[in-house]
Amino acid sequence: MAATRTLRIGLIPGDGIGREVIPAGRRVLEALPLSTKLQFTFVDLDAGFDTFKRTGTALPDKTVETLNKECDGALFGAVSSPTVKTAGYSSPIVALRKRLSLYANVRPVKTVAAARSPVDLVIVRENTEDLYVKEERTMETAHGRVAEAIKRISERASLNIARVAGDLALRRQRVRDTGAPSIHKRPLVTITHKSNVLSQTDGLFREAARKALADAKFQAVSVEEQIVDSMVYKLFRQPADYDVIVAPNLYGDILSDGAAALVGSLGLVPSANVGDGFAIGEPCHGSAPDIEGRGIANPIATLRSAALMLEFLGEEEAAAKIYAAVDANLVEGRLLSPDMGGTATTEAVVEDVLKRL
């Protein structure tokens, strides 16, 4: 029998409903059945706009250092961004991705039970480059101002992200092979790009992704390509056709918000920021100032993010237990939060999931 493993998890609630959903994530980790042989210790960490207003920085060095030196993973809630440009403020999650080399952003989007249009896909987005290198400039010309931005694609990052996608496709297949119900039969990775127009940048992404996925390790994985505009069309028409989608940073960003719309509420969709041996679970929603402090935020995106973090820390079995408890709550549909058409509080949803664990 495997020995008990203790994981130290950084908790970064951030702003708004982040402070309501991150404690829910902690409770569900603490309640994992003993059979998973997992124990947790937690450390509370600051980041976000409130932190910025208090201390002058949105991401204190102490937060980064503690994550780096002490933690195995983390849960990140949400941060609100100032509505007007505020000198000195920049997004802490973007900075964290850079400083901890979290090069992959993974976002599963899934319906449960008998949805009219079933969805069970994951978007794997490159998290470090593309237009997000933020090298922009504006020039004064004889015809007025012209602005331009660098779109940087490296072979290394593209190979890496495609391997993450391939590994994920194999892992999802392993779960199906255990008899878990699924709309998919075989692992499939869809590479998204626009290399018909951007033959060098997206061309390199495409070529590198193809190369990575041609490895013998991924022999069982079918690989196809989709130009990003037709990808959007097909994703909305036939979401059931997709298993794992891999994309450069910007297309991945857009596709993943779009895909979240397929399942009804932002409050359901998790994500993870993944690097080598480290993962930060992060619900896809923001700080939701319109419902902050009312105790009605849907905690499910965070609970699924905690499970996703565990998956990337090698604890697939524990993750599966959380997913199953959450799915059971949704399938029964008795205790749903208001965004799902129910009347349950955050607390009531968490209690129901805990009971099912």
Alpha helices in the chain (DSSP H): 18-30, 49-55, 61-70, 92-99, 155-177, 201-213, 228-237, 249-260, 300-312, 316-332, 346-356
Residue reference for tokens 């949400």:
78
Binding-residue pattern over the window 259 to 298 for Mg ion, x denoting contact by CB under 5 A: ---------------------------x------------
Residue 115 CB, nearest distance to ligand ATP (Å)? 19
- Classify residue 84 as exposed, middle or buried by CB count within 10 Å of its CB (0-12, 13-18, 19+): exposed
Separation between Cα atoms, residue 213 and residue 37, nearest integer Å: 34
Nearer to ligand ATP, 248 or 267 (CB): 267
Q: Let me know how long the chain is.
A: 357
Nearer to ligand ATP, 36 or 51 (CB): 51
Q: Give the DSSP H or E segment for 9.
A: strand 5-14
Interface with ligand ATP includes 78 (CB under 6 A)? Answer: yes
Interface with ligand ATP includes 287 (CB under 6 A)? Answer: yes
Interface with Mg ion includes 257 (CB under 5 A)? Answer: no
Interface with ligand ATP includes 286 (CB under 6 A)? Answer: yes
Nearer to ligand ATP, 157 or 269 (CB): 269
Residue 291 CB, nearest distance to ligand ATP (Å)? 4
Orientation of helix 316-332 relative to helix 346-356, angle to 10°: 120
Q: Six-digit token pair at 86?
A: 């505020």
Stretch that binds ligand ATP, among 25-33, 40-48, 281-289, 324-332 (CB under 6 A): 281-289
Nearer to ligand ATP, 314 or 341 (CB): 341
Q: Under a CB-based contact definition with an 8 Å cutoff, are residues 17 and 77 in contact?
A: yes
- Dmax (CA) for the chain in angstroms is 74
Q: Under a CB-based contact definition with an 8 Å cutoff, are residues 304 and 270 in contact?
A: yes
Nearer to ligand ATP, 119 or 291 (CB): 291
Interface with ligand ATP includes 289 (CB under 6 A)? Answer: yes
Residue 168 CB, nearest distance to ligand ATP (Å)? 24
Separation between Cα atoms, residue 32 and residue 312, nearest integer Å: 17
- Classify residue 12 as exposed, middle or buried by CB count within 10 Å of its CB (0-12, 13-18, 19+): buried
Q: Under a CB-based contact definition with an 8 Å cutoff, are residues 112 and 331 in contact?
A: yes
Interface with ligand ATP includes 19 (CB under 6 A)? Answer: no
Nearer to ligand ATP, 25 or 248 (CB): 25
Interface with Mg ion includes 342 (CB under 5 A)? Answer: no
The item of ligand ATP, Mg ion, none sharing an interface with residue 297, based on CB under 5 to 8 Å by kind, is ligand ATP
The item of ligand ATP, Mg ion, none sharing an interface with residue 301, based on CB under 5 to 8 Å by kind, is ligand ATP
Q: Give φ, ψ of 63 to 5 degrees.
A: -60, -45
Interface with ligand ATP includes 253 (CB under 6 A)? Answer: no
Interaction site with ligand ATP (CB under 6 A): 17, 78, 80-81, 266-267, 285-291, 297-298, 301, 337, 339
